A and B are shown apart, each in its own frame.
Chain A
Amino acid sequence: MKYLVFKKINFISALLIFSIFFCGGCWDRHELDSLAIVSGIALDKNNDGQISSTAQLIDPGQLKSSQEGNKGEGQAFWNVRGTGNTTFDMLRNCTHKSPGKLLVSHCQVVIFGEDLAKEGIKENLDILVRDFEFRDTLWLLVAEGKGSEVLETKTRLEKIPAFNISKMVRTQDFNSHAIGVNLHDFINLAISPATSAVVPIIRVDETNNEKFLNISGMAVFDRNLKLISKLNKEESRGLLWVIGKIKTGIIVVNSPQSNGTASLEILKASSKITPEIKENEVEIIVNIKAQSNLGDIQSIDNLLYPEIWNTLNRHQSAAIEHEVGLALDKARHLNADIFGFGEAIYKKYPREWKQIEPYWQEVFPTIDVKVQVETKLSMPSMAKDTIKLK
């Protein structure tokens, strides 16, 4: 009898374990071949005023073909366009053309066309935070022109344009002329009572009939999430200095003694925004610390003298101050608090902020901003002097 019971339990356990293979996911199971995997989405306003979405689907068959040597035969992606009343509707309507339901879990970029961004992207954000499949880590960008054109631009090194864009966004860290803004950061910027949101701008450039993509700066949104202006590369770098998001990059300065230039490579940088309220006057102190090393120098300066280094270091501080100044001027001109000064005031003076908040738009351009830059320059690396032609 005992033997029998034992056998029964064995049988039931085996049955249960075996059933995992068939019952996984219950009613919601999705087979891989019935899904259309989305790598990127572009939202555009068409010429007729309608809004449409372009979803970039991955063609897995074409992805692996490169190893067999027939590279460039077909493209590994397919852009499907959908129209509709809401963003979700547009995306779902893509299924009229696609062979499967869109799976957006692997969507890495969402690109807003310029025309749509100018009208405001408030309505397009909700689905991104509400839907389970979208990830917080996807990048948001604004296209100069049409977003769908950006998604169509094939590059040589990456088979899927959207993944290429995603990598490009991350590569911006090496220049710090723009910074990737993911969905998580963007939502925090959007719901902030003071800060204006920024996202990188991407555009399609063409040389010798070959199209390529270029991240050309940052787009500035107003408080209603409407695109109002663009920061060029220098202004973007100025913004990044203030918010402490500089990773690395090259600062080009004049060489101290003779004519020529020197490139300084930023090694590390940080910043601190300190608001002060004195006698009803708001003052912002931005303290930037940077350390860099001499990357290259095109002059015949004698680098063995410490004064040269001090001068170079002063040039570096001046260059940083110049970039920050450009960004500040632009922000004041646009009346857009891209730096998060309001947020800083709110965190330090929550009570005073409640009085300032309704008037922030008027207050922001008049705020006194003090920029303090402390820089360091490291010792030379492989060469201790310059190349001197005799």
Chain B
Amino acid sequence: MKLEGGRIPSSQLTILAIGFLLGSSIILGPGGAAENNAWLAVLFGLGEGLVFLSIYVQLQKNYPHKTLIEMNDIIYGPYLGKLFSICYIIFFLHTASLVVRSFGAFFGIILVSTPLSLLLISILLVCAYAVRNGIEVIARCSLLLVVLMIIVTIFNTALVAINMEPSNLLPFMDIPIQEFFKASHSISTLPFGQTIVFLMIVAFLNQQQEAGPSLLKAFLIFGLFFLIIALRNPMVMGPQIYLATYPSFAVVRSINIADILTRLDILIGVSFLGAGFLKITVLYYGAVLGIAQILNMRSYLPLVLPIGALILGVSLLQYDAYIYDINDALKYYPYYSLPFEFFLPLITLVAAKIRTYLQASPGGKV
């Protein structure tokens, strides 16, 4: 009995990946410290992200129809492989809890007296329902949500066009070079590197050879959108962009077309609702499926709610206030996530290459 019977076409994978990447970046805004040079940081971050992606795609090419967990088992053997898998699963769970928390924090600015746990439970319940229904359902609902998010982003950008002041992008590269690379690196780890979780999903792709191109497409389309946002936000906000907790949100709040089209805050709320849902669901699904595969379970359904409760608990307990989260996201996450997003997959890829080389060579026994 297979854990996941669903199959998704490559076009849906692209859409799902775009939605996943848009996830928290839709409100957090790119490259905090880079401010008016964020657009360049986005390009550098995309470049670094593509390096990460090439590792993931290589891995997937070597082991088609296998998830990350199964790959680890094949490459490292059942015991060491499981250890590696557990590392990834902890990373997925933690990242999911971070996204859930940033989701709650965002809605918490308006819903001040509503308990945070209620906001988190309500989003997690929807995510749990999606995870329960399997990858086909997740992929299909991503289509609707991503189209909505893209339309909203284009709409917002068009409406603030009159507030844009291109000279706000000047002076070019006035920040210390190491600050700039910190910013671009943080973009590459959040969101680009987080696509490591897609190694749990591409196994269910109809045509395995399409995995690389469709993820690449997602990276480039999202990169374009991120670039537009990174150019738009400083142009509209000017120097005070350093002040805004959620720059994109502040930009949308400043829309004022003849006093008729104003107060469009809800547009950002809706798109973040969709994007956050997709991102949490994908990470949640990756963790649940991974644990089920490690434990050799016949179905992952019994795990859905307990893992959801775990994500909820972690996201509630890890910070007292969201300011710590922003601090961490900027300071530590780029380095904390690096082993899971880059080093472990790289080691796995090298190990896989050695293994295939040994198998192919006549003297190899393994």
Chain A: residues with CB nearer than 8 A to chain B? 25-28, 105, 129, 132, 135-137, 184, 187-188, 191-192, 346-348, 350
Contact = CB atoms under 8 A, between A and B. Distances in A.
A25 B171 contact: no
Contact of A192 (B111, B239, B253): B239
20 contacts: A26-B118, A27-B113, A27-B114, A28-B110, A129-B240, A132-B110, A135-B253, A136-B253, A137-B254, A184-B237, A184-B238, A184-B254, A187-B240, A192-B239, A346-B171, A347-B167, A347-B171, A348-B170, A348-B171, A350-B171
A191 B114 contact: no
B174 interface: yes
A27 B113 CA distance: 6
A146 to B, nearest CB: 28
Contacts of B113: 27-28
Contact of A137 (B109, B171, B174, B256): B256
A28 B114 contact: yes
Contacts of A26: 111, 114, 118
A23 B171 CA distance: 49
Q: Max chain A CB contacts within 10 Å: which of B109, B171, B240, B256?
A: B240
Interface of B: 109-115, 118, 167, 170-171, 174, 237-240, 243, 250, 253-254, 256, 262-263
Contacts of B239: 188, 191-192
A25 B170 contact: no
A129 B253 contact: no
A44 B239 CA distance: 29
B254 A136 contact: yes
A28 B237 CA distance: 29
A188 B113 CA distance: 32
A27 B254 CA distance: 27
Contacts of B110: 28, 132
Given A136-B253, A188-B239, A350-B174, 19 more contacts: A25-B111, A26-B111, A26-B114, A26-B118, A27-B115, A28-B113, A105-B263, A129-B243, A132-B109, A135-B263, A136-B250, A137-B256, A137-B262, A184-B237, A184-B240, A184-B254, A188-B240, A191-B240, A350-B171
Contacts of A188: 238-240
Contacts of A346: 171
A358 to B, nearest CB: 17
B254 to A, nearest CB: 5
Nearest to A131: B109
B163 to A, nearest CB: 8
Nearest to B249: A132
A136 B114 CA distance: 25
A129 B243 CA distance: 9
A347 B170 contact: yes
A192 B240 CA distance: 9
8 smallest CB-CB distances across A and B, nearest first, come from A350-B171, A347-B170, A26-B114, A27-B114, A188-B238, A27-B113, A28-B111, A350-B174
Contacts of A347: 167, 170-171
Contacts of A135: 253, 263
Contacts of A184: 237-238, 240, 254
Nearest to A344: B167
A333 B109 CA distance: 45
Contacts of A137: 254, 256, 262
Nearest to B167: A347
A344 to B, nearest CB: 9
Nearest to A28: B111
Contacts of A187: 240, 243
Contacts of B115: 27
A28 B109 CA distance: 11
A191 B239 CA distance: 8
A28 B118 CA distance: 12
Nearest to A105: B263
B112 A28 contact: yes
B171 A27 contact: no
A132 to B, nearest CB: 5
Contacts of A192: 239
A105 B110 CA distance: 12
A25 B110 CA distance: 9
A347 B173 CA distance: 11
Nearest to A349: B171
A25 B113 CA distance: 10
Contacts of B112: 28
A1 B108 CA distance: 43
Contacts of B253: 135-136
A105 B167 CA distance: 30
A358 B353 CA distance: 59
A132 B171 CA distance: 31
Contacts of B167: 347
A184 B163 CA distance: 11
A129 B115 CA distance: 24
A286 B33 CA distance: 33
A206 B109 CA distance: 45
A348 B167 CA distance: 10
Contacts of B170: 347-348
Contacts of B240: 129, 184, 187-188, 191
Contacts of B243: 129, 187, 191
A26 B122 CA distance: 12
Contacts of A132: 109-110
